Structure formats: structure tokens, C-alpha cells
């Protein structure tokens, strides 16, 4: 790098600090996802530290060039500003996190040129791995990954243990016990962590890009296969010692988790050693250092859209929202032919933790029956402040495991009914539940989370809502449960239609 390396480091620090300051509202969301118990991004706080040290080493070692199409920084800055505008208007943390990253890349190009960004690609891409994924993306990947890991583990341990019928989350042991394979055993956590580690190992591997790509690609099957091996080991132990021998907190459970990372890291380093070739270091091609004016202009392009977005939100007229408590029946008439009295209800308040995450403007959690056999939950609010997510996220936080999630045609008459709703089958110990849910945003009902998010983005001034109904599954199984839940939804449909039409 021409000039002093200190000047290069200063420009890199500017590229890190300025977008981070513009994206200040995003950081509480990122921190919450990093620190969440049972989350997948606990490695997040280490990423910026490692990336900064990695970038500083490259600059000090004279491996970073300067110059090259600096004007491209303005295009990336505009894209970063657009993403940060979405966060400002909608409150979408993921968009804000990605916008921060693109803003950082834009200012690196503005300060050092395209060549500098290319030479710093290792720490720059590594920075992106600190941004938590959307919760629904995690759920969509975790469930099939867990199913694959269970099948692989049982194939590697061909004993008497079998997976429960229907592709459930339990392994049936020879002694009649049931071994629950939780979401954290899906391998997604190790996959994300080893992908980050694999990127660093690949970046430090000597040789050309193909050799480094080989090291990175190896990290993916290593993460998945090592998790399958871990499940196989736990199944073998459980066949002899029972499910309690491999419960969370035991040496077998936690020790194999640590061993998984040690073995996987060893394999990555071994592949790196054999894949590495002669050093591909070359003398930096010196180009002109971009003027600081590029940095100033790119900064303004990044900062202007979210500032305008926050002003628009602050001046927007709030939409009056209905109070659901008085509009939803407080008692249900039993099914025809039943001699039971009306089914009374009681309301459950929203706990502080959930309120802090959801930030709803309206909430109703109503249990019908003495044992709460029928549960209705309605959450809604203005799209900028309320942050709704799928019910399986809440269920996981309460200790449930998702056995299956499928789309089903909407079964009853409802004003502006969605084409389908989502069905969940959940387990927690010996308890099983059946849940149906759908969303509303932009004045439309939908069972698709993707359509819900899109409608929230393109029509942010309209409220959004989530409706879910749930019952415990009894010995009648899924068919009987669906009949009961359809009756429950049919009883509430007229009232729900009136409320949702006002949202």
C-alpha cells in the first residue's frame, strides 16, 4: 500500500465506524440474537475482533493494494442506504445488519479503491458472518437438517434404536425410553460456526483460490457428518444407559459437543495443510490512493436514506387499532349434540420477555376450558414497531420441539381468508400439541411468511398481525386433533374476520 500503513488502517477504521454509527438502531437486535440462550450466533462478538486483526495484519504486511474503480463505492453505498432505509421504516434488523455490511464495503472501496477491497476480502466476508440470519431462515434449515442428522446417526449406529413413526423428533430406545433430538442437535449451530472457522482457515491457506475454496467447501460436510457421528455415539450410549445418560448437562452430551468442534477443526487444518501450495504472494500493484472526498460522498449516500425514513415514521399518522379482548367471545358453545355447559375462558398476560421482543400494540392470549384445552393467540401492531415472527420461535423458547410444519388449505369460511395456513406438530416431553396459524399484513391474510414480510415492507404504514390457535393432541391423534381445531377456528372465525378487517 502506498503511503503509510497507518493511513490505510485509519481509512479501514472509518469504514467500520461510520456505517456502524448510522446503523445504531440495529445493534440491540444483533446483540440480542448473539446472546440468546440456545441461539446459533454466539460466535458473533468474536467476529469483528478477528476481522480487524486480520485486516490490520494484511495492511501491515503490505498485502493490500490501492486504486481501481473507486466510483463503484457510490453504487454500493446507495444499496446500503436502501437497506438501512428499510430498517428505519420497517424495523427489520436483518436488513439493517446487511445494510451495515454493504456500507462498510462501500467505504473500504471509497478509501482504498476496488483493489484494496479485493485484498481485504477475507476479513470483509468474515464480517458478514456476524450478522444473524432471519429466524424463519433458521427454522427452515434447522428442521430438515435435524431430520437428516437423525437418519445419518441411526444409520451409523445400526442397533435396536429406531426413529419414531412419522419422522418425529424422538429416537425409540430398546428399553422403551424416548431420546429427544433437540433443535440444537440439528447441526446448524456447528455448521454456522465451522463455516466461519473454515473461512478463516481457507483465507490463511497458502496457494491459489481453488485450494482455498476446497478448504472452505470441506467445512460444510465436516459440520454435517460430524454431527451425525455425534448422534450415533449418543444413541449407542443411550441404548446401554438409557436416555438419562445422554441428557443435556451430562458428560456424554456436552463432552461430545466439545469434541465435535475439536475434531472438525483438526480435519480443516489437516485439509489446509495438504491443500496448501506455494505462496501466491505478489508485489502489490500500486495505484493512486483515492481522495477522501469519495469517503465523504459515500458516507452521505449511506446516511441520508435511513435519516429520511426515521423522519417519515416520526411524522406518520398512527392507525387506530381495535381492542381484541371485547371482540372475541369469552365463552364457546360446545359442539352440537354435546350436553356440556358453555366453555369459559381466561386471559393470560404477555410476559415481559416476549413483550420486549414482539413490541405489540395489541395482544390477546385466551385459554378456553378449565385446563386450557383450546388456546387462541392474537398479536398485532404497527409494522414499524411490532416485530412478529412465527409461533415455532416462541414454542422453542418454551421447550417445545417442532416435529413437522406443513401448509394446509384454510378449512373454514373467513372474510378475506388466506389460501392456506401453517400447521405445526410439537412435542415437549410427553406432551404433544397441534397448532394452526397465519399472518396479515398490507390488508391481506396469508399463510406464507415470505409474503407477510414483503407486504410489511411495501406497505409499512398498515398494521400487521399474527393469529394462531392450538390444542393438545390426545390419543385420537392427528385426525381427531384436526377436527377439534377446525371446530375451534369455526367458532371464532366471525369475530376474527371483523378484527382482521380493521387491520
Whether 131 and 255 share a structural domain = yes
DSSP annotation string for 342-396: PEEEEE-PPPHHHHHHH--SEEEEEEETTTT-EEEEEEEEETTT-----HHHHHH
pLDDT in tens, 44-58: 899 989 988 888 888
Of 239, 463, 490, nearest in space to 362 by CA: 463
Assign residue 192 a region (left: φ > 0; alpha: ψ between -120 and 50; beta: otherwise).
alpha
Looking at residue 203, its pLDDT comes to 80
Mean pLDDT, residues 459-472 taken together: 87
Mean pLDDT, residues 445-460 taken together: 86
**Burial of residue 340 (number of CB atoms within 10 Å: 0-12, 13-18, 19+):** exposed
The answer to whether residue 446 is domain-embedded is: yes
Mean pLDDT, residues 281-298 taken together: 70
411: domain CATH number is 3.40.1000
Whether 74 and 194 share a structural domain = yes
**Each residue of 306-333: b (16+ CB within 10 Å) or e?**
beebbeebeeeeeeebbebeeebbeebe
Tell me what percent of the residues of the chain surpass a pLDDT of 90: 19
Whether 64 and 209 share a structural domain = yes
SS3 314: helix
- Choose one of 281, 308, 335: the last residue of a domain: 308
Mean pLDDT, residues 173-184 taken together: 70
CA distance 358 to 493: 24
Answer for the pair 52, 122: CB distance below 8 angstroms, yes or no.
no
The answer to whether residue 147 is domain-embedded is: no
Find the helix or strand (DSSP H, E) in which 192 lies.
Answer: helix 188-204
Answer for the pair 327, 107: CB distance below 8 angstroms, yes or no.
no
Mean residue pLDDT of the chain comes to 81
Of 326, 389, 325, nearest in space to 354 by CA: 389
Stretch among 163-177, 205-219, 360-374 having the lowest mean pLDDT: 163-177
The answer to whether residue 166 is domain-embedded is: no
Distances (CA, A) of 276 to 118, 272, 279, 284: 20, 6, 8, 21
Cβ within 8 Å of residue 28, ≥6 positions away: none
- Strongest mean pLDDT among 74-78, 93-97, 273-277, 439-443: 74-78
pLDDT in tens, 394-444: 887 677 888 888 999 999 988 888 999 999 998 877 788 999 999 998 889
Cβ within 8 Å of residue 180, ≥6 positions away: 169, 170, 243, 401, 427
The answer to whether residue 158 is domain-embedded is: no
Q: What is the pTM of this model?
A: 0.74
The answer to whether residue 395 is domain-embedded is: yes
The DSSP 8-state label assigned to residue 44 in this structure reads T
Stretch among 205-214, 217-226, 247-256, 429-438 having the lowest mean pLDDT: 205-214
Domain span including residue 378:
320-500
Half-sphere exposure of 279 (CA within 13 A, CB side): 5
Assign residue 372 a region (left: φ > 0; alpha: ψ between -120 and 50; beta: otherwise).
left
Whether 134 and 196 share a structural domain = yes
Whether 354 and 224 share a structural domain = no
Mean pLDDT, residues 378-391 taken together: 78
Looking at residue 283, its pLDDT comes to 46
The DSSP 8-state label assigned to residue 460 in this structure reads T
Alpha-carbon torsion (395, 397, 400, 404), positive or negative: positive
Cβ within 8 Å of residue 473, ≥6 positions away: 425, 432, 433, 434, 481
Answer for the pair 491, 345: CB distance below 8 angstroms, yes or no.
no
The DSSP 8-state label assigned to residue 25 in this structure reads G
SS3 339: coil
CA distance 67 to 295: 14
Select the more confidently predicted residue: 51 or 180: 51
Stretch among 25-34, 215-224, 302-311 having the lowest mean pLDDT: 215-224
CB-CB neighbours of 41 under 10 Å: 22
CB-CB neighbours of 266 under 10 Å: 11
Cβ within 8 Å of residue 220, ≥6 positions away: 191, 194, 195, 198
Q: What angle do CA 202, 287, 105 make, to 5 degrees?
A: 50
Whether 334 and 300 share a structural domain = no
Whether 341 and 441 share a structural domain = yes
Whether 15 and 125 share a structural domain = yes
Would you place residue 317 in the very low, low, confident or very high pLDDT band (cuts 50, 70, 90)? low
The answer to whether residue 161 is domain-embedded is: no
Whether 470 and 373 share a structural domain = yes
- Choose one of 308, 339, 361: the last residue of a domain: 308
pLDDT in tens, 344-364: 888 888 887 777 777 788 888
Select the more confidently predicted residue: 370 or 296: 296
Find the helix or strand (DSSP H, E) in which 105 lies.
Answer: helix 93-112
The answer to whether residue 174 is domain-embedded is: no
Q: Does position 3 have pLDDT exceeding 50, yes or no?
A: no
The answer to whether residue 465 is domain-embedded is: yes
pLDDT in tens, 108-164: 898 888 888 888 888 999 999 999 988 777 777 877 787 788 788 778 877 766 666
Mean pLDDT, residues 234-253 taken together: 81
- Choose one of 274, 308, 342: the last residue of a domain: 308
Mean pLDDT, residues 233-250 taken together: 81
CA distance 378 to 464: 11
Find the helix or strand (DSSP H, E) in which 140 lies.
Answer: helix 135-156
Whether 348 and 255 share a structural domain = no
Select the more confidently predicted residue: 245 or 39: 245
Q: How many domains does the chain have?
A: 2
Whether 205 and 331 share a structural domain = no
The set of cell numbers assigned to 416 is: 378475506
Whether 34 and 126 share a structural domain = yes
Amino acid at each position: 500500500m502506498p503511503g503509510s500503513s497507518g493511513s490505510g488502517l485509519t481509512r479501514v477504521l472509518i469504514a467500520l465506524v461510520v456505517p456502524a454509527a448510522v446503523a445504531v438502531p440495529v445493534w440491540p437486535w444483533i446483540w440480542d440474537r448473539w446472546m440468546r440462550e440456545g441461539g446459533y450466533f454466539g460466535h458473533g462478538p468474536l467476529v469483528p475482533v478477528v476481522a480487524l486483526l486480520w485486516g490490520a495484519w494484511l495492511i501491515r504486511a503490505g498485502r493490500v493494494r490501492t486504486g481501481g474503480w473507486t466510483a463503484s463505492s457510490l453504487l454500493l453505498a446507495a444499496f446500503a442506504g436502501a437497506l438501512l432505509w428499510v430498517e428505519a421504516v420497517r424495523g427489520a434488523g436483518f436488513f439493517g445488519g446487511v445494510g451495515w455490511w454493504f456500507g462498510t464495503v462501500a467505504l473500504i472501496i471509497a478509501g482504498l479503491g476496488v483493489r484494496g477491497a479485493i485484498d481485504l476480502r477475507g476479513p470483509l466476508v468474515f464480517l458478514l458472518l456476524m450478522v444473524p440470519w432471519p429466524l424463519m431462515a433458521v427454522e427452515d434449515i434447522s428442521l430438515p437438517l435435524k431430520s437428516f442428522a437423525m437418519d445419518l446417526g441411526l444409520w451409523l449406529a445400526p442397533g435396536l434404536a429406531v426413529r419414531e413413526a412419522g419422522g418425529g423428533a424422538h429416537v425409540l430406545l430398546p428399553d422403551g425410553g424416548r431420546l429427544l433430538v433437540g433443535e440444537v442437535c440439528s447441526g446448524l449451530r456447528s455448521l454456522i460456526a465451522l463455516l466461519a472457522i473454515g473461512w478463516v482457515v481457507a483465507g490463511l491457506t497458502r496457494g491459489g483460490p481453488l485450494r482455498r475454496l476446497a478448504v472452505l467447501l470441506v467445512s460444510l460436510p465436516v459440520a454435517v457428518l460430524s454431527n451425525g457421528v455425534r448422534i450415533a455415539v449418543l444413541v449407542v450410549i443411550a441404548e446401554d444407559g438409557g436416555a438419562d445418560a445422554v441428557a443435556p448437562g451430562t458428560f456424554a452430551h456436552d463432552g461430545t459437543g466439545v469434541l465435535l468442534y475439536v475434531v472438525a477443526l483438526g480435519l480443516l487444518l489437516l485439509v489446509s495443510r495438504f491443500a496448501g501450495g506455494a505462496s501466491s504472494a505478489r508485489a502489490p500493484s500500486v495505484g493512486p490512493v483515492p481522495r477522501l472526498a469519495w469517503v465523504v460522498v459515500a458516507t452521505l449516500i449511506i446516511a441520508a436514506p435511513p435519516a429520511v425514513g426515521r423522519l417519515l415514521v416520526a411524522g406518520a399518522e398512527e392507525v387506530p387499532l381495535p381492542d381484541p379482548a371485547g371482540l372475541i367471545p369469552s365463552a364457546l358453545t360446545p359442539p352440537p349434540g354435546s350436553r356440556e355447559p358453555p366453555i369459559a375462558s381466561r386471559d393470560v398476560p404477555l410476559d415481559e420477555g416476549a413483550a420486549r421482543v414482539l413490541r405489540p400494540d395489541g395482544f390477546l392470549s385466551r385459554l378456553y376450558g378449565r385446563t386450557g384445552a383450546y388456546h387462541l393467540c392474537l398479536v398485532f401492531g404497527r409494522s414499524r414497531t411490532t416485530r412478529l415472527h412465527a409461533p415455532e420461535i416462541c414454542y422453542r423458547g418454551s421447550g417445545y420441539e417442532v416435529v413437522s410444519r406443513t401448509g394446509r388449505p384454510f378449512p373454514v369460511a373467513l372474510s378475506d381468508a388466506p389460501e392456506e395456513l401453517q400447521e405445526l406438530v410439537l412435542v415437549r416431553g410427553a406432551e404433544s400439541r397441534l397448532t394452526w396459524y397465519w399472518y396479515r399484513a398490507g390488508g391481506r391474510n396469508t399463510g406464507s411468511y415470505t409474503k407477510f414480510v414483503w407486504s410489511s415492507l411495501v406497505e409499512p404504514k398498515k398494521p400487521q398481525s399474527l393469529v394462531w390457535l392450538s390444542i393438545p393432541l390426545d390419543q385420537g391423534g392427528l385426525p381427531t386433533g384436526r377436527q377439534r381445531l377446525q371446530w375451534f377456528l369455526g367458532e371464532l372465525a366471525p369475530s376474527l374476520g371483523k378484527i382482521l378487517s380493521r387491520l
